[in-house]
Structure 1
Amino acid sequence: MTDKIEHQREKTSLVRALGPIDATMIVIGSMIGSGIFITSAESSRLSGAPGWLLLAWAVAGLLTITGALCCSELATMMPRAGGVYVFLREAYGHSIGFLYGWTLFLVIQTGTIAAVAIAFAKFLSVFVTAVSPDNYLIAPISLGGYAISLSTEQLVAIVLIALLTWSNTRGLEVGKIIQNTFTFAKIAALAAVVVIGLSLGWKANSAALSSAWWNSWANGWNPQVAQPGFTIVGGLALALLFGRSMVGPLFAQTAWTNVTFVGSEVRDPGKNLVRALVGGCGIVVVL
């Protein structure tokens, strides 16, 4: 009977076919998204100086690496499919794991996927003018205090989600190839932005070099303008708004825990999950 159970378990268990590079690409691909490209403007407005902006990203990166080290320890102890769900279930019981699992499914991951898909559609609209939030295929239908509609922008986002979902149902190898391909493309794009930014910005008349790096007030910054309704002034205002400016960098550097969800599909998880979490987070922080 025992041999039969073990044989059945082997037949139904997930295949450990993801190597260290594949796992690292999951971490990097999950972290590099629209947030990296769209949050710096808001953080810069809140902090008022290039030095504070870079410091916000650096502190967020340090917190990210710290979290990755903690998560890698848990992933090494429990290298099973489910990731954070498994960690919470084992630490706090099945009820907490159950609540987190359904929250992840209905709110956290679902909302993130929708936001990234809409961001893709917005960027696509720069090149394809037909893709627009105002180009309705189904005009808004009022339902009390809410309206249901379908724009070309929403349609692109829906099709993108459906396409990627379908591709992942084709098997681990197909999903791995797509993940690695798009992640390498994102790394190349982000590296190109860094190189171009340094090339164009390393001039005496550039905003980065002509601005005061740490004196936000010298750059015309005003806490009441940066945060309407803010009554605090002076250094305390800068400290508080600096903390708020870290929201964007922290948001942009999230999702590195996604690799733990496929813990049962990573080869030698005791080593590769740690390498993926620390290495992937480190690469993104540097970029």
Structure 2
Amino acid sequence: MEKKLKLWDATMIVMGSMIGSGIFIVSSDIMRNLGSGYWLIVVWLLTALMTIAAAISYGELSAMFPKAGGQYTYITEIFGKMMGFLYGWGLFTVIQTGTIAAVAVAFGKFTAYLIPSLNDATPLFQSGSFKITWIQILAIAIILLLSFINTRGVQSGKMLQNIFTSSKIIALLGLIALGFILVEHSQLMSNFQFGWEAFQNFGTEINGHKESASWLPISGTTVLGGIAAAMVGSVFSSVAWENVTFVSGEIENPRKNVVRAMIIGTTSVMILYLLVNLVYLNTLTRDEIAFAANDRVAVASAEKIFGNAGTIIMAVLVMISTFGCVNGIILAGARVFQTMAKDGLFLKAAIKNNRFNVPANSLWMQGIWASLLCLSGQYGDLLDMISFVIVLFYMLTVFGVIYLRIKKPNLERGYKTWLYPITPAIYLIIGISFCVLLFIYKPQYTWPGLGLILIGLPVYLLINKKSS
């Protein structure tokens, strides 16, 4: 692999892959689960602590194994090929491709704000509840376009990533500043007046939209369940930073620049997320956050800041954000499937680089499967189920840092985890608590995703049998 990605490029991959559509939507669900400005910020702070602790811990592994494949390589090197395959299986079937599909469809939905005929158009095909809409077709077109651009060389993908990520960071900073300057009536104090008392309000469905019912005070274990349910959205909005490890083989001085990119990128994004949520709390009441139309809390906030033009401004910002996010995830994911193919755990055709020295076949396989997930319409349900599994694999990888320190203390480490063992322990404690609470209070988020990953076991055994 040619080393064409510098520290700036790697940081843009981290930030661009993280910031998609989640930050513009999920705070509505968090507010419905916990009902207080304090708890909204606590959920994002917990997520920030988890994310940054994981990135710092991954840095040690990225310095030890500075090659393409990233997290897949770390898991394989530490825990063996079977665990590496299960991670790669989950990545291809849902984690990477499902994220591409979901973010691409979000691009289509926000484009429909600017072109209402996309929403109003008759479905191209409908049979019962299954239908193919123009929004899905637009999402597929974006996936295939960005897959094609990335087959033209890493330079093309890098340039797009830098432009779109820089644009959305500048736009978010502008939104944050204007969210405090232009708003006449601040709601900040009223949103914090509930103190540490938590509330839940799941509302009722009226004409496909959630409408407020009544706020019910909650306490004890119910609050813990509410936090776990609320964190499903914030956690999923804060993943994909590890995508930069997938392209380690193409980054200059990967032993240093991968960890720098992860720490700078994750910290910057989580600060932006916290500030954006303060803007929501400043511009909107509790009910306006919790029951924003279609959970588009950012659109509701932008309308308070910019008036009627807010919808258009926010639609453009989300389009820029989602376009850059899809590009970053497409660019990075294909490198994992190529590495798996070299290990005999994926289709052999994925091994070959094209004349631009990028894994074109792997890019197209990823793009086609993501497009099929767009058509299925099931990517949203799959991603709700898979957030739990993503955290499990994060925990496994972070635990790998501790495991290698004990089992192989003399291995060369170009970077050592800051505040070890406190940093990985922080991630593992929060991660285990999150997963256990989800198991107890929201099993619909856990068992299906776990089952999907376990389906990979017979697939692995079949592959192993054929190769032996």
The alignment's TM-score, normalised by the length of structure 2, stands at 0.53
1:88-127 → structure 2 map (5 Å cutoff) = 88-127=75-114
Read off the aligned partner of 1:269 and give its amino acid letter: P
Name 1:160's counterpart in structure 2. Answer: 142
Change (3 A) 1:138 1:285: same
Query: Is residue 194 from structure 1 mapped to residue 176 from structure 2 by the alignment?
Result: yes
Shift in Å at residue 22 of structure 1? 0.3
Name 1:223's counterpart in structure 2. Answer: 200
Match of 1:140, SS?
Answer: strand
Name 2:430's counterpart in structure 1. Answer: none
Matches of 1:158 and 1:194, distance apart in 2: 32
Name 2:293's counterpart in structure 1. Answer: none
Change (3 A) 1:114 1:77: same
105, 117, 121: which one aligns with 1:135 = 121
Read off the aligned partner of 1:274 and give its amino acid letter: V
Query: Is residue 40 from structure 1 mapped to residue 46 from structure 2 by the alignment?
Result: no
**Unmatched segments (≥5 aa) in structure 2:** 205-212, 273-468
Matches of 1:206 and 1:125, distance apart in 2: 30
**Unmatched segments (≥5 aa) in structure 1:** 1-13
Match of 2:127, SS?
Answer: strand
Question: In 2, are the aligned partners of 1:52 and 1:214 still within 8 Å (CA)?
Answer: no
Query: Is residue 242 from structure 1 mapped to residue 230 from structure 2 by the alignment?
Result: no
Matches of 1:210 and 1:233, distance apart in 2: 19
Matches of 2:84 and 2:228, distance apart in 1: 31
Q: Deviations over 1:183-209 (max 9, x none)?
A: 0111112212211222245x6x42222
190, 196, 204: which one aligns with 1:210 = 190
Matches of 1:102 and 1:225, distance apart in 2: 34
Shift in Å at residue 139 of structure 1? 2.3
Change (3 A) 1:241 1:29: same
Read off the aligned partner of 2:97 and give its amino acid letter: T
- Which has the higher relative contact order, 1 or 2, with Cα contacts under 8 A spaced 6 or more apart? 1
Structure 1 consecutive aligned stretches of length 4 or more whose deviation exceeds 6 Å? none
Shift in Å at residue 70 of structure 1? 1.2
Question: In 2, are the aligned partners of 1:136 and 1:150 still within 8 Å (CA)?
Answer: no
Q: Deviations over 1:93-133 (max 9, x none)?
A: 1122223223211221111100000011111111111222x
Name 1:262's counterpart in structure 2. Answer: 247
Name 1:7's counterpart in structure 2. Answer: none
Give the number of aligned pairs: 263
1:149-188 → structure 2 map (5 Å cutoff) = 149-188=131-170
Name 1:66's counterpart in structure 2. Answer: 53
The alignment's TM-score, normalised by the length of structure 1, stands at 0.84
Matches of 1:199 and 1:55, distance apart in 2: 25
Identity %: 41
